[in-house]
Each structure stands twice: as C-alpha cells, then as structure tokens.
Structure 1
C-alpha cells in the first residue's frame, strides 16, 4: 500500500529564497501551458510535450522539471474532467460548472511541484537532500522528521517527491510503498465503532474516547475565530489563519491516536472492525444551527480513513454497515423504538428493559451488523490509500 511521509526542510534564508523562486517559476510555467492547452484543446501528456516543451526549456527549466510541469498540467485536466463527469462541480447548466469548465486551470505560485530521483536525491544518514532549483543544484539542504518517518523513508521510499510550502514552512512529501500484513480471513467477530460528538469514538469492547474536553477547546477556538474575523484587520486575519492551522493539526493528531488504539485492539483480539457508512451525513441529518456547527466541524471522514488504512496495513478486515437506527435498536432484543433513547447518554429498551450507555449499545449493534455483513460475503474492501503519516 502507498503511504506518504512528510518531512520538514530546514533551509537558510538564501536557500528558502531559491526554493520559493523555483516553485514560482514552475507554477507560472504550468499556468502558461494550461492556457495553451485550454485554447488548443490538447491536454494529454504527449500533446502537451509537443506543444510546449521547447517553450519551457526556453524559460530556463531543465529537462526533468519541464516534463514534470507538463505532466502536472495534464493530470490537472484529467482530474477536472473526472470531477465534471462525476457531478462534483454541479450540473452542466449550473453557474459553478460553467465557471470551472469555461476557463483554464490556474496554478497557485506556491502549489506543490513534483521531483524525481534525477532532480532530488536523499542523504538519509546525514539528514540532507540535494535538489534542483532554478539557480542551480542545491546540496546539503537539511531536513528533520520523526524516527518512524525516517525509518519508513529508508526502507520503502519509491517514486516521486513533492516540494511543498505551507504557512512559510517547507516540506518534502515522499511516497513510500509499504508492505501489508497477511489479511485476517477468519476474524473472531468484529469491533463495532460508534462515532459521535460527546464521545468521538466508542467501541463494542467498552473503550470510549471522550470528546468533552476537546469540544470545550473547539468552542473556544470558534469564539476566537469569530472575534478575529469580526475585527477584520490584517494582523487579525494572519492570526486567524495561523490558529486555524493549529486547530486542524490538533484534530489530525487526535484522529491518529484514536485510530491507532482501535486498530491495535482489533489486531490483538483477532477481530475485524465495523464502521458506519457516514457518506452524505450532512445532507441526511437535520439539526439546529449550533449542533450543525459542531457536527460539521469534526473530521469524521478523516478518522474513518485513518482507521481503514491502519487496518489495511495490519491485515485487519474492515466492513461498512448501514447506520440507520443503530442508536434506537436494542442490542439484546433488537427492538427499534425512538423512545429507547430518552437522552444522549442513556439507552433504555421499551420492550425488554435493557439499560446501557447509548453509545456502547450502538457500538454493539454496529459490531453485530458488521459480522452479518461479513458472513453474507458482502464485506467492504478498504480503497487504495495514499495518505500522509
């Protein structure tokens, strides 16, 4: 399976200026090629190479970076056509669809630029890289990363590496081909995972990952963000942007920790993992405005994706079940009634009198549905994943 490892570069001010000039030059060239591709209707890699390769060389790009620019433009149009065909950008007659389809793709000055081993080489023992720039080959550029990331780079790095600038910091994003463990084809049951707001994740094994403290922190973050946006000054906007990055990194870190615990629990007990299929939850659920803000601001999809790829790497099977009525169904007698859920935390069956924590009861229902899904041979296969770790 493919995993993406991101390491942070530690450039001097002069090296950072050279990297910035390189990204700007590559993306300006990509935007120019995009205009020509749009006007001529020729967006394949071969057509673009015949159309604009000489022009890119005249701009001062070396052979490999020029080819990567052409491929980046071709891939951008391929992705755009796929999005238009899938309806992700609205209907053909919509203003959004016509606005996107009626103009060439434009690349940001700081958009990521791919490099292959001819343009970039790693010295992992010294924690430095040598990279092509528009001002010449830059050698001895230092980088840092976690020990686990560096070990993965050393053992499994394969393919291209992207140069990326985010928030003034420079990163290299490398692709690694990591071997998967032998899949568990005969799981001894399933760990059901109920996702929520008060408890971010509750497993059928009885583990609850509480979100109360985190929700208070997120509410404080929202108040601060609203205050800064209302103020509207440049310094306030800079602070809001910087704070938003911290909030996203905090959520990502929590999702990584929760998913790691869930997968380790399933692997240790020889079970699979059953998850709710939450696709389209924003459209299905009807909530008051304060509740919508809370629901939509947490990245449940990211948590589910982290569980899926960690499980795939560990050989743990994952199934997705229909979440309908899992919170109203009794896990003992399977009686479904809205009155079974008198409050957020309490489940009390109106038929058999069974009482349990509501999230734990839901997780038992999810585990049972996951087992029957597996038995019926309709197990869901985790998709091919390319993720940043």
Structure 2
C-alpha cells in the first residue's frame, strides 16, 4: 500500500505552508519510491493511481466502450435478480449503442479520459442534433460506466469523482409535465356507482380497484403487485406501497426511487370495499390483493379490460371499431373488432386523488409524498394550478411582511 504524508515547509508571509509526499514500494524492490506534490488533491490522485498499478488488477488497456459494455452485462444481471427494471437497461443499452459506440470517444482508454474529454463528447453529440435532455441522459450512463470501472479496479476513485463533476449548462429542452386534467366529480361518482353495482358479477373486484386507486393514488403496477403484507385494514387503515409490476409481469421488490416507497392512509369507503373483496377474491398462494382468476399476478391487459367494462357501465366509454392487421396464408388480412374506448385511463384516478386532497387543504409537500413523486417540481408541474392563488397569495404576503413592522 502507498502512504501519504504531510510535510511542513518554511512559512511565507506569516502563513503555514505544506507539501504532500506519496511513498510506496514497487514489487521486487527493497527501497521505497516517493514523489512530492504541492497540493493534497494531486497527491491523493497519484496515490490512487499507484495503488491501482500495484494490485495487479487494473487493466490499462480498457477502452470506454469496453467498460460500458461490461457495465451493461453487470446491469443485466441486476435486472435478472429483480433489482433493476428492464426498461432502464434498454435505455442504457441505447445510449451505449447510439451515442458512445459509433464515436471516437468509445476507443479512448478510460484511464486516460478526463472531464474535458467527456464534455467534448457531449458537445459533439449536441452539434450532431442530439437534444440537451438526451445528452444529459447519456452523461448519467457515462457516470455509471466510470463508477463500474472503479469497482473493477480499472480506474481510481478520483476518475469517477471527476466524471461526477461534469455538468451540461443551459436550459433543458425536455418539455415539463403538462398540468393534470381532472374529470368532473359527477363522472367519478358515476364510476363508483357502476363499480359497486358490478359486485354481484365480479365479487367486488371493480369496486375495490377503483376505490383504492382513487383514495390511495396507486399506479396500475403498484396495484397489481399489492400483497397482503402491504394492506392494513384494522386500526389506522393504510396501504404501504413497496412493490411494483411492469407490463411484462416482472415484479420489483423495491421502488425505482426512495420516494416510491410510501404509506398512504385509507378512508372508510376504500376500507369497506377492500374488506368485501378480500373475502370474495380468488385463492392465491402468493398473497396478491388483486390476483388473476388462477391466483397469479394480474396482467395489465386484464386490468385494462376490467377498467373499460367499468367505464362502459358508467357511460364513460365509447364504442368504436378497431382494425387489426395480421398475416395468414401469405396474405395480409385486416380484421375489425368492436372495442370500448374509455374517456380516461386508470392513471387518471391518481390525479383525482391528488386534486381531492388539494381541494380539502393538503400542502404540496404532503401531496408529493403521497403520490411518490421524486421531486416537488414534478408535483407542482402537475397540480400547481389546483392550489388557490391571487387573493390568498396577497394576504399571505401581507401577513409575512407584518412580522417586521
């Protein structure tokens, strides 16, 4: 191992001065080698390089593309273990394939690639028409590649720290989220009534589904992955959101972000519908609250079909003809089928949940936490127009100013 020592120098103008010496022993040599630096940062960086070269595990011939592809292989393993989402892997793979591999940047040795090289590459991408938003996403993949290279002892920690300091200045070209569109309260009442009336046909599945989405703000993937250990209907009824399922029926045991893990209180209307459903639901060995008819994970396609039927019964869906193209006997055939097209999706009930609480006085931070938003900015982009303004803002400003009178 290398060592780092501080040396006291002759004071200048009454100020203490120091230098920093890195000492190490090369394999097969009796005497220590040393090198002195004027700054601690430079000495620490050199010390890391020395230790990397000493342990024999560093590969100085690894290119940026080699490191990126190795990172993707490890990320694929995390996806198979259920620790990462397949959609994120596809995004990272697209970044490497489209924005790293075809460029000269990919062939550079990663140990010799610094922050200036990373910035130059990102600027080159934008000169070729890549949006600033996409360039920033590619930068995240580059940082992940550098962190992976550190774990593999290909580069020292200081290189990853330097990559983390890279910033792209300028306004992001990504369009912010549009304000949420909220259905009229009368439509939601009709939806609740239609779902309750269907209890004799589906044992209460629809009623429990619409109630928990509207009163807890669950995403469809969170609803499908909801299990018995996450639903408390006794004292202080609440739902603990800790799992999610994607449309390919993969279940993730932890949310994508820490904000996704949350506890949402349940009102009596939701508790009543859920208790009735828990008694009548199909048998499931996995503990799903909303299992399929065979007890497994409820697919998104089945959920959406039930949703369309519920909105049909509430007169909130329209009948239309959908064309499907398929190939049979070497010929392309066009089939027509009648489908019900709902006026809004299950996700809209999340907006209903947020708007109802805003109307009854909830604060932005509470809405952010209950919705599982990663940032308050996302909450304000979606629902900022629902909070009262004008006169109340003026009154609030006057009260704040009066504190100093």
Give the TM-score taking structure 1 as reference length.
Answer: 0.20
More strand per residue: 1 or 2? 1
